[in-house]
Homo-oligomer: A and B are copies of this chain.
Amino acid sequence: MTRKNVDLKIKELKSNLGIMKDLRLSVGKVIDDSWEETIGPTPYPSITDLRNWDMKILQKYKPFYMPFCDLCCLCTYGKCDLSNNKRGACGLNMEAQQSRIVLLAACIGAATHTAHARHLVDELIEKFGRNYPLDVGGTNVEVEAPVTRLVTGIRPKTLGDLDTILDYLETQINHLLSATHTGQEGNNLDFESKVLQAGMVDQVGMEIADMAQVSCFGFPKADPNAPLVDLGFGAVDPTKPTIMVVGHNVPPAIGIMDYLNEKGLYGKIDVCGLCCTAHDITRYSSKAKIVGPISWQLRFIRSGLPDILVVDEQCIRADSLEEAKKIKAPLIASSSKNCLGLEDRTKDPVDEIVNDLVSGQVDGVLILDPEKVGEVAVRTAMEVAPKRKKFKIIPEIKDLIEIAKKCNLCNECRRACPNDQEIPKAMVSAGKGDLTKLEKIYEECIGCGRCEYVCPNEFPIHSFIVKAGEKKMKQEQYKIRAGRGAIQDVEIRRVGQPIIFGEIPGVVAFVGCANYPKGGEEVAEMIEEFAKRRFIVVTSGCAAMSAGMVKDEDGKSPYEKYPGNFDAGGLVNVGSCVSNPHIAGAAIKIASIFAKRNLRGNYEEIADYVHNRVGAVGIAWGAMSQKAASIASGFWRLGIPVIVGPHGSKYRRMLLGRKDRKEDWYVYDSRTGERVYGGPAPEHLFYAAETKEEAMVMIAKLCMRPNDNTKGRAIKLSHYIDLHKRFYGTMPDDIHLFVRRLSDIPITMKDEIVRILDEKGWKERIIPDPTLLPRMVRKKANKK
């Protein structure tokens, strides 16, 4: 009846505010007086509290706009043509409109994570109570919620504390969203500052979601040795009834595992997942399997393996019901976010629902109770499996060849394909019996299905592609380390110094969706490269799956080859999308645990620290969603650069530094207060790379930080130069900007580089103790 669980009923209470009667009180804000850390200047920051910090960042990394459309169509004053410096009917210009759309995307992204967190926390509070303690890593993790502490000034201890923080997040998102209304914010940089607020809020929302599920479901707790679990299409046993779970909200999938367990059915049924629910269900039980990232949805359904689809929220194909119908598999929708027009059967008896699904009376149902989903899904799968006999809609090769002959080479499919796949050529070959070109497309296809809708012959093109890749698909059988969750404090202590001095050359995080320009192998290749080079490589979400989908000559996939600990040469899968804050959190914890800076409500100082000292880079090679936008924004506000793939240019604007403008790169030397040239490090904040080769060179470069010591800088430079030589065939032309003293030069390259430096008229310069905040100078000075 009430939205929140209520803790206290008080018949009459006297306080300094007078007498209150017949009230119930719920725990509001916990002012944790046992936390001795001084509170910083910006706990629970409003949408303007960090605006000054944002403007500093945005001066260095100015938006470069690439409008996705000449128009604004957001209100009925429009459409307005904003091209070529025109303003819309509300007075808005193109710059502001582009940033406004970015803000809208970031709000949608942040809302998605926060709403997910809210849903989880509400359900878990109902189940476990407000006072259920949070535990994400036992004694190994003292700083249990670095992002939340940093932003809110709160140290959450229980589920109830999360509830309070969520109130703050929702308020912020609401304010930010409101700023996108026609006639509100008019300035592009102020829109960008709000984007950064949305990103910051998003990080807290994700952190809360993951803390809640890690604590309540017993996921691996900051465990570098989280179990290796099965990954890939080939891991699914085609002889068993199969339940396919898709989405991001794990409780329905847990409902399934629990029911299986209770009934002793484990082993009789395969439960396999796509997207983040897959990550999270394997964190719950290593018996579950991961099929793959979002782009595997169509191919997996059409393969006929799933006997029932259980979809929850986020990253669900909107046509899942139609696709499930095609293979005669029923569907259970389990989230109020995605009801798919289905009847709400939450309150109906299980027998009736199962009966309706098995008999085909209904194609699908909506069930908003995760436990009921569990029972219905399992029972339905058991009964449906023998009836549908893995009915699939992938054609036979001989039919494919016959049909392909009829292709009239109209190019419609290719022109609809987001990645411009040369389908017509592949059809010609296929018509001649040669499927290799189609098979090549299988490896690059992101499974969107757009080609099929435009074919005048109505070829099931995607199914053709899947058929061509079938052999490969069935061999896809890999291992992935289940999401470990947070980074341990002890790990941070170990790597803190080498990271901030640059001796560990960087923390490289591969995150986000699978909308890759040329298939997932590029991600896997990049990951290997940096793991081999002994960077710390972190993964999450769909990218973490792609990372596992290669094998070396010994048949080992990367997670088997590289250890899961947060250290040089480690390959660290933190988990699902909501586990992303463990990455930002690690950077923050370096400041707090290693450098002993105050976290609590002290955002600017910590961001300044991270930006100038922690050589971290995020790569979202396939980023496509609004969540990706908000996740990236959360990194930006901390000053951590993010690289996206070429289609990432569709995010409408980059945040680019200009290394050729010397004046942009001055920092304060906090020892002296002097303004010192710190070099373009990192050069960009948000940046779309055209190819993986370009990305790899840029990753190495973006790991440099003004604070690197000479040893660290030399190591970083050697990686940068090495990759540059390998992929570009030349020395980089900007080394002089990064060499501060002769000792920065990698020894093996000394002569070559010194020659270049001489040509450029290079002079030795100071290595500052860098900060963008004047007050940090005073602070240091005062300490003396």
> What is the interface of chain A, defined by CB distance below 8 A to chain B?
1-4, 6-8, 13, 15, 17-18, 22-34, 39, 43-44, 46-48, 51-52, 68-69, 73-81, 85-93, 96, 104-105, 107-109, 111-112, 114-116, 118-119, 131, 153, 166-168, 170-171, 173-175, 177-190, 193, 294, 313-321, 323, 336-342, 344, 368, 416, 418, 446, 448-450, 453-454, 515, 623-627, 647-648, 650-651
Residues of B within 8 A of A323 (CB): 91
Residues of B within 8 A of A454 (CB): 86
Q: Are B22 and A17 in contact (CB under 8 A)?
A: no
Known: A25-B28, A31-B24. A318 touches B186 (CB 8 A): yes
A-B contact pairs, 28 of them (CB 8 A): A2-B31, A3-B29, A4-B28, A4-B29, A18-B131, A22-B31, A25-B26, A48-B344, A68-B79, A75-B624, A76-B623, A77-B448, A78-B650, A81-B416, A86-B453, A89-B450, A90-B317, A93-B319, A104-B104, A107-B177, A112-B184, A118-B174, A118-B175, A119-B175, A177-B177, A181-B625, A183-B316, A184-B316
Residues of B within 8 A of A88 (CB): 318, 448, 450
A104 and B186 alpha carbons, distance in the complex (Å) = 20
Q: Are A648 and B76 in contact (CB under 8 A)?
A: yes
A171 and B122 alpha carbons, distance in the complex (Å) = 11
A90 and B47 alpha carbons, distance in the complex (Å) = 32
Known: A7-B15, A48-B339, A339-B190. A315 touches B183 (CB 8 A): yes
Q: Are B190 and A341 in contact (CB under 8 A)?
A: yes
Q: Are A314 and B170 in contact (CB under 8 A)?
A: no
Minimal Cβ-Cβ distance residue in B for A13 = B8
Residues of B within 8 A of A185 (CB): 318, 337-340
> Nearest Cβ distance between residue A181 and chain B, in whole angstroms?
4
Q: Are B625 and A75 in contact (CB under 8 A)?
A: yes
Q: Are B647 and A76 in contact (CB under 8 A)?
A: yes
Q: Are B47 and A180 in contact (CB under 8 A)?
A: no
Q: Are A174 and B175 in contact (CB under 8 A)?
A: no
Residues of B within 8 A of A623 (CB): 76
Residues of B within 8 A of A91 (CB): 317-320, 323, 449
Q: Are B115 and A175 in contact (CB under 8 A)?
A: yes
Q: Are A626 and B75 in contact (CB under 8 A)?
A: yes
A578 and B637 alpha carbons, distance in the complex (Å) = 34
Given contact pairs A6-B28, A186-B316, enumerate 14 new A-B contacts (beta carbons under 8 Å).
A7-B17, A76-B650, A77-B624, A78-B650, A86-B454, A89-B446, A92-B318, A118-B171, A118-B175, A167-B167, A178-B337, A182-B624, A187-B339, A190-B341
Residues of B within 8 A of A175 (CB): 111, 115, 118-119, 336-337
Minimal Cβ-Cβ distance residue in B for A651 = B76
Per CB-CB distance, the 6 closest pairs between chain A and chain B, nearest first, are A26-B28, A186-B318, A91-B319, A89-B448, A187-B341, A76-B650
A446 and B115 alpha carbons, distance in the complex (Å) = 39
A321 and B105 alpha carbons, distance in the complex (Å) = 26
Known: A186-B321, A190-B339. A31 touches B23 (CB 8 A): yes
Residues of B within 8 A of A453 (CB): 85-87
Q: Which of B86, B178, B626 contacts A116 (CB 8 A)?
A: B178
Residues of B within 8 A of A418 (CB): 77-78, 89
Known: A418-B77, A449-B91. A170 touches B181 (CB 8 A): no
Q: Are B181 and A114 in contact (CB under 8 A)?
A: no
A2 and B118 alpha carbons, distance in the complex (Å) = 21
Residues of B within 8 A of A313 (CB): 178, 184
- Tell me whether chain A's interface is mostly helix, strand or loop, or mixed: loop
Minimal Cβ-Cβ distance residue in B for A447 = B89
Q: Are A183 and B1 in contact (CB under 8 A)?
A: no
Q: Are A8 and B25 in contact (CB under 8 A)?
A: yes
Residues of B within 8 A of A183 (CB): 294, 314-318, 625
Q: Which of B87, B114, B119, B320 contacts A319 (CB 8 A)?
A: B87
Known: A73-B69, A91-B320, A190-B341. A26 touches B23 (CB 8 A): no
Minimal Cβ-Cβ distance residue in B for A130 = B17
Known: A29-B3, A171-B170, A181-B108. A48 touches B450 (CB 8 A): no
Q: Are A93 and B318 in contact (CB under 8 A)?
A: yes
Residues of B within 8 A of A69 (CB): 73, 79
> Nearest Cβ distance between residue A267 and chain B, in whole angstroms?
31
Known: A76-B515, A186-B338, A450-B86. A181 touches B4 (CB 8 A): no
> Nearest Cβ distance between residue A394 and chain B, in whole angstroms?
18
> Nearest Cβ distance between residue A422 and chain B, in whole angstroms?
18
A112 and B368 alpha carbons, distance in the complex (Å) = 30
Residues of B within 8 A of A118 (CB): 171, 174-175
Q: Are B18 and A344 in contact (CB under 8 A)?
A: no
Q: Are A186 and B336 in contact (CB under 8 A)?
A: no
Residues of B within 8 A of A90 (CB): 317-318, 448
> Nearest Cβ distance between residue A337 and chain B, in whole angstroms?
5
A107 and B177 alpha carbons, distance in the complex (Å) = 8
Q: Are A190 and B340 in contact (CB under 8 A)?
A: yes
Known: A7-B17, A8-B15, A79-B68. A181 touches B109 (CB 8 A): yes
Known: A87-B453, A174-B173, A182-B626. A73 touches B68 (CB 8 A): yes
Q: Are A177 and B181 in contact (CB under 8 A)?
A: no
Q: Are B23 and A30 in contact (CB under 8 A)?
A: yes
Residues of B within 8 A of A190 (CB): 338-341
Residues of B within 8 A of A87 (CB): 318-319, 449-450, 453
Q: Are A24 and B17 in contact (CB under 8 A)?
A: no
> Nearest Cβ distance between residue A600 and chain B, in whole angstroms?
11
Residues of B within 8 A of A107 (CB): 177
Q: Are B89 and A449 in contact (CB under 8 A)?
A: yes
Q: Which of B22, B48, B112, B131 contacts A178 (CB 8 A)?
A: B112
Known: A92-B318, A336-B47, A344-B48. A6 touches B22 (CB 8 A): no
Most chain-B CB neighbours within 10 Å: which of A76, A181, A318, A627?
Answer: A76
A76 and B185 alpha carbons, distance in the complex (Å) = 24
A108 and B30 alpha carbons, distance in the complex (Å) = 31
A4 and B33 alpha carbons, distance in the complex (Å) = 17
Q: Which of B31, B314, B340, B450 contacts A80 (CB 8 A)?
A: B450
Minimal Cβ-Cβ distance residue in B for A248 = B183
> Nearest Cβ distance between residue A223 and chain B, in whole angstroms?
29
Residues of B within 8 A of A416 (CB): 81
A39 and B2 alpha carbons, distance in the complex (Å) = 11
Q: Are B319 and A184 in contact (CB under 8 A)?
A: no
A686 and B27 alpha carbons, distance in the complex (Å) = 43
Q: Are B77 and A179 in contact (CB under 8 A)?
A: no
